[in-house]
Structure 1
Amino acid sequence: MGEEWTRITPFPLDTNPLKVEVIVVLQFPIHRIENNLVITKSEDIWSYYRVFENTVGINEQEALENLVYRLEKLAWQLSGFLEIDYKILPVPVDIEARISKLQNQYEGKYASVGSYYAERLRDILIEEAKDTVEYKFFIGIKLERKENEGDNILGTTIRSLKGLNRYVQRLSGYNGIDGELLNQYRESEESAFATLSSYLPATRAKKEELHYLLRHFFTRGMKNERENDESISSLTEGILHQSDAGFIRIQQLEDESYCAFLPVTEFPVDMNGRAWSYFFQELGFPVEVHIRTHYKEKKDDYSETNKIKRRFRDQDSQLLQANEDEDSLINAGRTLLHELENDIKNQGKPLLRTYTHFVVWGMTKSECRSRVTRLKRAFKDRGVEVLQPLADQLLLFHQSIPGADIVAPDWEQILTPESFSDSLFSLTRKVGNTVGFYLGKDITSPGETVENSPFLVFYHPFLGQLGLKGSKYSSPHVTISGPTGMGKSFLLKDILLNAIFFGAKILMTDPKNEVEKKFKATIGEEQSPFADLIESFNYITFSSDKRDAGKLDPLTFLEGEEAHDTAVAILEYLAELQSQERNIKTAIYKGVRHVLTTERKPGLLKVVKYLQSSEDKEVQNVGDLLYEVGTNGVAKLMFSNGDVSGISLKEQVNILQIQNLTLPEDGEKPATRDEHIAVALMIPLAKFATKFARDDSQTKITIFEEAWMLTNTGQGHKLIKEMLRTGRSLRSAVYIVTQSTVDYNRADVKEGIGTKFSFKAKTIEEAGNIIEFLGIEDNKENRELLKNLSEGQCVMEDIYGRTAKIQIDVPFNEWKDAFNTKEEDKGRRETEEAFI
C-alpha cells in the first residue's frame, strides 16, 4: 500500500483493498431549537429569521437597484456578527392542499360542479407541475454572548464550573438550557433582528419553520412529513449513502432520492447583473442555496488584499518573461483591487469570506445528474464556476445544517458587499394569489412559454376587498383591456365560470350577443356537468322585436332623481344637442319631470309626446326625431308607454344580450346613427347593472363587456366611477372590459381598481398609456414588451402591486371551445400552415 493510494475522505470510495479509507465522523451540531434560536452542542447560539420575498415589476430597473443597495448595506452592517448563514429553500407547491382549500370555499348551486372541475384541475397540475416550488428565504446570525462575570480569574473559574455542570447535565440526559445562558445572548439577538429589519422585511423564524427546514435535509425530493413529537432525532431520521462519487442517496422507509452539492469555485471579477442566487428559479427544477459568510477584522482584510497584489506582481513577471501583453481582465482586476484597498483602509469596508453551494436532487441518479449538468451550464453562462466534488458531499451536507461549523473550507470565495448584493438574495417571482383557481403561467423572462415556465399563477376573485396584509389595493374591481382578438373575452369567461363556484351572483352585459351562442354550440346533445352549467344560465336577449320594446326604458326600472337624470342623458345623447341649444335641453328636463310627477306608469315615449306637443318648433322637431328613433329598430328597447314587464334576475348567472347591435370601430367614436344608438343603449344597460350591484345581500360581480362605449357618454363614466367607489361596501365587484385603458387612466379611477389585465398595445402611444396605468417603469423594454404580446398573453398587476407577463391557460378543453370567439376556419388554418 503505497502513499499515493492514501486518501482522506468522509466515505469509502469503493471496495478496492489497495486504498486506505479514512472515515471522518461528524457530530450532529444541533442540541436544541428554542423559538427562532438554534443552540448547538458547543453552546453557540444562532438566531434565524424568515426574510419575506421581494419582487420587482417587469423591467423595473429602479426597484432592482434599490434591492441591490439594501443587500449591500446589509452585508456591510452584519459584519459585526462575524458569521452569517443565508439559505434559500425551495418549498414544493402543494397542489392537493391548495385545491382542497379552494373547494372548501365553494358554496351554493354550483358548488358540486366546482368540486368536479377542481378535482380535474388537481390531477392535471399534479402531473404537469410536479416540480413547481416557491422559494423561501432564511438568514441565520451567529450571536455574541454578553459576559456578565468580567474577564478576571474569578469570572473565568465560574464560567468553567458552569460549563462543567452543563456537561454533566448532558451526560445525565438533561436537555434543558440554562436561562442565564440565553439571557447573555438576548441583546445580541435583538440587535441582529433590528439590523436585518432595517434593510429587508423579515420576521423571527418560527420553530415549525426551522423544523421543516431541518426535516427537508433528510427528505429532499420526497414528501416532507414531520413526526408528531418533532424531536431533533425524529426530524433527522434518514440514511445517507455516498456509494456513488459526487452524489448522496437519501433513504427513507418507502422512498429514496439522490442529491448533489455544488460549491462555487470561482466568481467573475465583474459581478454586476449576475443575479447568482436568483436566476436559477427559471430552470424548472428545485435548487437549494446555502451561503455562509465569515467576517474577520480590518487588518485581516487588508492583509488579504496584499496577498492578491503579490499574485498580480507574479503574473506581471510571468507576462514579461513570456513577452505577452497584459490581459484586459487582469488589468480590470488590478483597478478594482486598488479601489477595494482604499475602501478597506479609509471606510472600513468588510470582506465576506463566503462558502456558497447549491443543492439539486432527483428521484433517480440519472435525473439528479441531468439537473447538475443543466445547473453547471447555466452558471457557466453567467461566468460563475460551480463544481460537483467527488469527496466532499457529506461534508457539504453537514455544513448546510443550521448552526454547523464550516467543515469544507476549500471552497472559500472572497466577496465584497457589492458583489454579494448582486446575488439578489430574497428576490423571487410571484404574482396573483396563493389560493385561487389556476389562471396560467408567468412567462416574464425571454423564451418562457406556458409549456416550460415553472411559475403557476392562481387568482381568487374575492380577496381584493379584504385588505390583506401587504396588499397595495383593497378593491375587488378588475379591468381587462386590449384590442379585439387578443384574449380579453377568453380571460373574462374563465374568471366568470370560476367565480360562480363561490356562490357569487353574476350580471354580464354582452353587446356582441355572442356568449349564449358560443357556449351552447359546444355542449352537444350529451349531458355533462359543463352542459348542465351552461344550460342553467339566464340568457336575457334584447332585440328590435316589438315584444322587447321598452325593456331598457329607465323610467320603468329606476325611481326619483336617478330615473330623471338617466332619461335626460339618453334623450340628449340621441338628439345630439349642442351646448347652445338650451331651449331644447330645458324642454327635455321639463318633459321628464312632468311625466314622472303626473303619470302612474311613466315611460320615455310619453316624454317624446310631451316634446312633440311643444309650441317651440325646434323642440317639436327634436320630439319628432326622437319618436322616429324610439319606435324603430333596436332603439325601441329604451322607449315605452310604461306598460312593460320587468326583467327577472332570479338566476345566479344572468347575461344581458342585445341582438343586431352595430358597434363602433374598436375604441372609436360612433360614426353612424346605428353606432350612436348602440352607445346610447349602454347608458340604461349600465344603470340596470348598477341597480343589480346595489343589492348587498350577497356577493356579486357586474361585468361590462365593451365598457369603452360607456365612456363615450358623461353619464356612463359617472356610473362606472360610482360603482368603483361603492362596490366594496356593497360586496360587489365590477369587471370593466375595454379596448383601451386611456379612459380609466385617472388617479380617481385606477386607484379604485384592484387587479388589472392589459393585453397587447397596438401603438407605442397606447403602450405608454398602459405603462402609466399599471404604474410600471416607462422604458423601451416595457414598451416593446407590450407591443409584442401574443394572443392570450397579458401583463397582470395583482392586489399587491406585483406585475408580470402571463399566459392565460385554461386546462379544460370544453371550456376552451366555449370561450373561443373566432370564426370557424373550415380548414383554412391547416391549409396555410401545411407548407410552413
Structure 2
Amino acid sequence: MSVLKTPMKTMRGNLLLTQTGDVWGFYRIQTTSIPKQNEKETDAYKRNWKQFFEELTAYKDFHLMMYPQEFRLDERLTDLKQDIAMDSDDMAGYYLQETANLLEQRLGKLTKSDFILAVRLKMEHIKVDAELKDNIFSAFSTVTDTIVNLLGWEQDVSVSFFQQFDQAEEELANLVAMVGGVRLTEEEIIYVNRYNFLRGIDHDVVEQLDDASPEGITNTLIDPTIPSCLKLNGEGNEGYISFLVVDEFHHNMAGSELFYEAQSLPFSVEVDIKAQAESKSKTKMNVNLKKQQLRESAREQNRVGDEIDASVSTSDYLVRHLQDEIKKDDVNVFNWVAVLIVDGKTKKECLQRAKVVKRHMKSAGITCRIPVADQLTLFYQFLPGKSLDITNRNWLQKTTQDGLAENFFGVYADVGSKVGFFIGWIDRFEKHKDLASAIGSSRDPIFFHPFLANQQVKGSKTRSPHVLITGDTGNGKSFLAKLLFIYISMMDVKSLYIDPKKELRKWIRKVMLSPEVKRDYPLFVEHLKKFHFITLDAEDASNWGALDPIVFLPSMQAREMIETIFSQVYSFKGKDDIHTAFLKAVTEVLERKEQGEQVGSKHVVDILCKHDETAIKKAGEFLSEVTNDSIMKLCVHDGSQDALSLEQRISVVEIENLDLPEVTDSVESYTNAQMKSSAVMYALGKYCELFGQNKEERTAEFIDEAWMLTSNATGRKVEKQMRRVGRSYKNALFFISQSTKDALREEESGNFGVAFAFDEPTERDDVLKWMNMEATDENVDMLEEMYQGQCLFKDYYGRTAKMSVECLFDEWAGAFETVEDTAVAQAEEKYL
C-alpha cells in the first residue's frame, strides 16, 4: 500500500521535500487570456509552451495543476468601497453586497482557475552535504515519521538541507519565468497541498493560509467505500469528489485544449497532469517494437485476404512520423496521465457533475472514464510531490512536447479588472439559443473599474482612461453606457451624461414614480434624486446662451468655436470680404468681453448687420434670421444668462428638438435643421472638454450619439482635444457612437484604453481589427450571431473577450430601457 502514502515530508519556501528524498519546486503560472478564435495567437502560445517543455525535459518529472482558487469577492468589493462618494455610501454599500449575494446565489462560491507547476529538481547536479544526507535518508528509510519528528530531523531539514538546493532552484525559477511562472510562498504551497484534502468541503481560504502548517495538511478522513467517488470529512463538514481519467485524445492532439475546455463547464472542474520524460533509447526501442507489431498485423490481414484496417494504417503513419520526430535532439516522448476532478456537497451532485464532464469532453473529442474502484489510488497518485508511476499503464498517454502543449495550460478567459463593478459575463464563443442561456452557462463574471487605466497598474497596456462604446442601433450600447453611468454616479467622481435623445430622464422618472420601486428600493430612489437634469430647449428662453462660446470659453477657444458654429449654417467659401468682416467682429466682441462688458455671440451678428458694405450687411441679416427662433439660440445669445454649470456632481444634459442626421448621411445631404443641430453638438463637445479640465477632481463624461462630433474635421479636432484631457487630468471620456472608423485612425488609436464593440454589420472587419481579433470568416460569423446585449470587450490589459452584458438589479434595468414593449410585442413572445 505504499502507493497510498502521502508523499510530502516537509517544505521550505517554494520547495517540497518528499518521503523518498526528492525535492520539488512549485510555481504559479500567471494566466494568459487569449480569444480561442485567434488562431495565430493561440498557435504562438502553444509554440512557446512546446519550447518550454523541451527545456523542461531534463528535469524528467513535472506536475501541471489547475484548481479553483477562491475569488474573494467580498474582499474585492470592500476594496472598491474606497472609491465610493460619501453621499452615496449607503446606496453603494447595499448594491455591492447585493452583487455578492446574487452572484454567490447563482454560482455558489465564486472561483477562478489557478495554474500551478511543480517540477522535480535534478538531484544528480546537487552536492548535498554527505553526513546530513546520510542522516536524513537513513531516518526516512529506517524509522517512522513519528520518530523522525521526535528526533528533531524536521528542524534539521528545514534549516540546513534545503540550502543545498538554492542554486538549482534559481536555475529552475529562471526557466519557469519564460512561461510567466513565479515562486509560490511557503503558506501558498502548504495550502495547495492542503487543498487536496479539502475538495468539496466548505472552508475559509484566508483562515487556512493564516493557520498554514505542514502538520495539519492531511487532517481529513477519506471514505473510499462509495463506488466512483470519495467522501471527505474534515473541518466539521463533508464533501464528495470524483476523479475522471482521460482515456483518449485526438490522434495528433491538435486543438485538444484540455485545460480550457474544462473551464467552460457551469461548475468548477480541476485538471491535473502528471508527466515523465522517457529516455531516447527506450523510445526508439518502443517505436521499433510497435512498428514491427503493426507490420505483422498488416501481413496477417493480407494473408487472409482482408483489407488492412484503417486503425492499422493510421497507427503506422503516426509511428513513422514519430520516428522522424525523435531523430531531432530537442524532441522527446513524455508519458503522462491526465485527470479531471469534480466535487459536490452530496454523492448525487458529485456523480451528476462527473457525467456532465464526461459528456462535454466527448463533444470536444476527448474520451474520459469514471473509474469505479480506483478513486483512492488516483487521489494519492495525484498528490503534489508524487512522481508518475509508469508501471501502471492504465490511461497512460504518450506524446512529444508539442502534444503536451496542445493542452493549453495557463490560459484563462479573463477580461476587465480585479477590483470593479459587475457588468456581465464572458461568453467563450459558444453557440446559445438566446442571451439568457449565454448568461446562464457562464461562470466567468466581468468586473470593470473606469479609473484604473492611467494609474500605472502592472500589466496595463494603456494609460488612457477613455472608453469607446460602438455598435449598430438597438444592439445594447446605450443600455451598457447607462449601467456604467449609474455605477460611476456612486463613485467620488463628477460625472456628466450628454443625452441628445432625451431618453434617460424619461426612464428614470418612470422608475422613481413606481410605487413598488419607492417601497422596495428607497436608497436607489434617493440616489436618483441627486441627478441634476438640464434640458437645453431652445423654446425655453432661460436656456438661451447656455452654450454660447463667448460666455463659457477662453478667448482663443471661443474664436475657433464661433467660426465652427456659424460655418454650419453659412458658407464663407469664396467670400473673403465677408469672412474677414466676420473675424474682425469676433475680435471686437472678445475685446469687449475682456473689458468687462456683458456680450455674447449675438453681438457678432449685430456688428455684421450694421456694416456699411451691403454684402456684409446682408450676410449678417441672414445669420440673424438663421439663429433667431431656432435651436441656434442655445449657442448664439447676448451674454445676459449664465452658461452651463460645471459644479454639479451628477449632471445629465438633454437637448430638446435636436434633429440629428443618420451616421451614414454625408455632410452635403444635411438639412438646415441638421446643420444647426451639428453646431450645437460641437459647442456641447467643447463644454465637455472644459468639464474635465480640473486636475483636483476626477471627472467622467458620457457622450451619446458622439459620432456627431466627428462627422467633419472641426468636430474631430474638438473630440481629439477632449481625449487628450484624460491623459494628464483625472478625466474619462465615454464615447458612444455607431461607428469605429474614427477610432481606427492610426495616429489616434491609442487614445481609447477600453472598448466595447457591439455588432455593426457594415464594419465587422474593422471592429475585429480594433478589438485585437483576427478578421477570419469564423470571427465575422461570430459577430453576426451575437444577440442583443452581447459585444466584444477589450480591456486596458489588451485582452479581448466576447461578453454578455447584464444588470443584476431589475430596478436599475427599468431606468435603462430604450425601447418600450407594446402589447402586441408581448403577445408575439407568448406564442413562441
Q: Does 1:721 align with 2:717?
A: no
Comparing 707-716 and 792-801, the one that deviates more: 707-716
1:72-117 C-alpha deviation (Å, 9 max, x unpaired):
1122221101111111112243333333333343232112111111
Amino acid at match of 1:675: Q
In 1, the alpha carbon distance for the partners of 2:382 and 2:127 equals 34
Amino acid at match of 2:783: L
1:199-244 C-alpha deviation (Å, 9 max, x unpaired):
x111112223212212211111233331644111223221110111
Q: Structure 1 residues 687 and 441, CA, compared in 2 at 3 Å: closer, same or farther? A: same
Alignment of 1:380-399 (within 5 A): 380-399=362-381
The answer (yes or no) to whether the contact 1:131–1:284 under 8 Å persists in 2 is no
The answer (yes or no) to whether the contact 1:95–1:125 under 8 Å persists in 2 is no
Residue of structure 2 in register with 1:730 after alignment: 729
In 2, the alpha carbon distance for the partners of 1:25 and 1:147 equals 27
Q: 2:535 aligns with which of 533, 541, 551?
A: 541
In 1, the alpha carbon distance for the partners of 2:543 and 2:488 equals 30
The answer (yes or no) to whether the contact 1:727–1:734 under 8 Å persists in 2 is yes
The answer (yes or no) to whether the contact 1:262–1:359 under 8 Å persists in 2 is yes
The answer (yes or no) to whether the contact 1:132–1:285 under 8 Å persists in 2 is no
Comparing 748-757 and 646-655, the one that deviates more: 646-655
In 2, the alpha carbon distance for the partners of 1:42 and 1:182 equals 15
In 2, the alpha carbon distance for the partners of 1:306 and 1:237 equals 48
Q: Does 1:564 align with 2:559?
A: yes
Q: 1:222 aligns with which of 201, 224, 227?
A: 201
SS at structure 2 position matched to 1:483? coil
Amino acid at match of 2:346: T
In 1, the alpha carbon distance for the partners of 2:431 and 2:552 equals 53
The answer (yes or no) to whether the contact 2:191–2:212 under 8 Å persists in 1 is no
Q: TM-score, normalised by structure 1?
A: 0.92
Q: Structure 1 residues 323 and 376, CA, compared in 2 at 3 Å: closer, same or farther? A: farther
The answer (yes or no) to whether the contact 2:104–2:110 under 8 Å persists in 1 is no
Q: 1:266 aligns with which of 228, 244, 248?
A: 248
Q: Does 1:768 align with 2:765?
A: yes
The offset of 1:162, in angstroms, is: 6.5
Residue of structure 2 in register with 1:301 after alignment: 283
- For structure 1, the residue ranges without an aligned partner over 5 or more in a row are 1-22
The answer (yes or no) to whether the contact 2:11–2:158 under 8 Å persists in 1 is no
SS at structure 1 position matched to 2:615? helix
In 2, the alpha carbon distance for the partners of 1:171 and 1:308 equals 52
Residue of structure 1 in register with 2:657 after alignment: 660
Residue of structure 2 in register with 1:495 after alignment: 484
Q: Does 1:759 align with 2:758?
A: yes
Q: 2:614 aligns with which of 617, 622, 628?
A: 617
Comparing 25-34 and 593-602, the one that deviates more: 25-34
- For structure 2, the residue ranges without an aligned partner over 5 or more in a row are 433-437
Residue of structure 1 in register with 2:424 after alignment: 440
Comparing 780-789 and 213-222, the one that deviates more: 780-789
Residue of structure 2 in register with 1:830 after alignment: 826
Q: Structure 1 residues 156 and 36, CA, compared in 2 at 3 Å: closer, same or farther? A: closer
Residue of structure 2 in register with 1:197 after alignment: 177
In 1, the alpha carbon distance for the partners of 2:757 and 2:664 equals 15
The answer (yes or no) to whether the contact 2:335–2:397 under 8 Å persists in 1 is yes
Residue of structure 1 in register with 2:572 after alignment: 577
The answer (yes or no) to whether the contact 1:485–1:791 under 8 Å persists in 2 is yes
Residue of structure 2 in register with 1:377 after alignment: 359
Comparing 415-424 and 519-528, the one that deviates more: 519-528
The answer (yes or no) to whether the contact 1:464–1:474 under 8 Å persists in 2 is yes
In 1, the alpha carbon distance for the partners of 2:683 and 2:115 equals 53
Q: 2:509 aligns with which of 507, 520, 523?
A: 520
Q: 2:446 aligns with which of 449, 457, 464?
A: 457
Amino acid at match of 2:816: F
Residue of structure 2 in register with 1:410 after alignment: 393
1:608-660 C-alpha deviation (Å, 9 max, x unpaired):
11122233433323212211122112111111112112433433111111111
Alignment of 1:257-406 (within 5 A): 257-320=239-302, 323-347=305-329, 349-406=331-388
RMSD: 2.3
Amino acid at match of 1:451: G
In 1, the alpha carbon distance for the partners of 2:161 and 2:748 equals 58
SS at structure 2 position matched to 1:372? helix
Residue of structure 1 in register with 2:435 after alignment: none
1:410-440 C-alpha deviation (Å, 9 max, x unpaired):
3322111121111111111111112211101
Residue of structure 2 in register with 1:13 after alignment: none
The answer (yes or no) to whether the contact 1:484–1:666 under 8 Å persists in 2 is no
Q: Structure 1 residues 58 and 682, CA, compared in 2 at 3 Å: closer, same or farther? A: farther
Q: Does 1:173 align with 2:152?
A: yes
The answer (yes or no) to whether the contact 1:58–1:776 under 8 Å persists in 2 is no
In 2, the alpha carbon distance for the partners of 1:804 and 1:149 equals 49
Residue of structure 2 in register with 1:650 after alignment: 647
The answer (yes or no) to whether the contact 1:511–1:661 under 8 Å persists in 2 is yes
The answer (yes or no) to whether the contact 1:295–1:352 under 8 Å persists in 2 is yes
In 1, the alpha carbon distance for the partners of 2:279 and 2:234 equals 44
Alignment of 1:120-269 (within 5 A): 120-130=98-108, 132-145=110-123, 160=134, 163-164=137-138, 170-176=149-155, 177=157, 181-198=161-178, 200-225=179-204, 226=208, 228-269=210-251
SS at structure 1 position matched to 2:568? helix
Q: Does 1:482 align with 2:471?
A: yes
Q: TM-score, normalised by structure 2?
A: 0.92
In 1, the alpha carbon distance for the partners of 2:553 and 2:58 equals 71
The answer (yes or no) to whether the contact 1:481–1:739 under 8 Å persists in 2 is yes
SS at structure 2 position matched to 1:702? strand
1:303-357 C-alpha deviation (Å, 9 max, x unpaired):
1212321331343244335533223343232122112112223435210011221
The offset of 1:25, in angstroms, is: 7.1
The offset of 1:382, in angstroms, is: 3.3
Q: 2:497 aligns with which of 505, 508, 511?
A: 508
Amino acid at match of 1:729: S
The answer (yes or no) to whether the contact 1:132–1:286 under 8 Å persists in 2 is no
The answer (yes or no) to whether the contact 2:472–2:758 under 8 Å persists in 1 is yes
The offset of 1:573, in angstroms, is: 2.5
The offset of 1:821, in angstroms, is: 1.1
Residue of structure 2 in register with 1:114 after alignment: 92
Residue of structure 2 in register with 1:532 after alignment: 526
In 2, the alpha carbon distance for the partners of 1:754 and 1:577 equals 38
In 1, the alpha carbon distance for the partners of 2:50 and 2:353 equals 31
Q: Structure 1 residues 229 and 537, CA, compared in 2 at 3 Å: closer, same or farther? A: closer
In 2, the alpha carbon distance for the partners of 1:478 and 1:715 equals 21
SS at structure 2 position matched to 1:742? coil
Identical aligned residues as a percent: 27
Q: Structure 1 residues 629 and 385, CA, compared in 2 at 3 Å: closer, same or farther? A: same
Residue of structure 2 in register with 1:552 after alignment: 547
Amino acid at match of 1:447: K
Q: Work out the number of aligned pairs and report it.
A: 805
Alignment of 1:769-784 (within 5 A): 769-784=766-781
In 2, the alpha carbon distance for the partners of 1:60 and 1:131 equals 31
The offset of 1:302, in angstroms, is: 0.9
SS at structure 1 position matched to 2:727? coil
The answer (yes or no) to whether the contact 1:441–1:808 under 8 Å persists in 2 is yes
Residue of structure 2 in register with 1:423 after alignment: 407
1:127-181 C-alpha deviation (Å, 9 max, x unpaired):
112264311111111101356779xxxx978954674478786551331226664
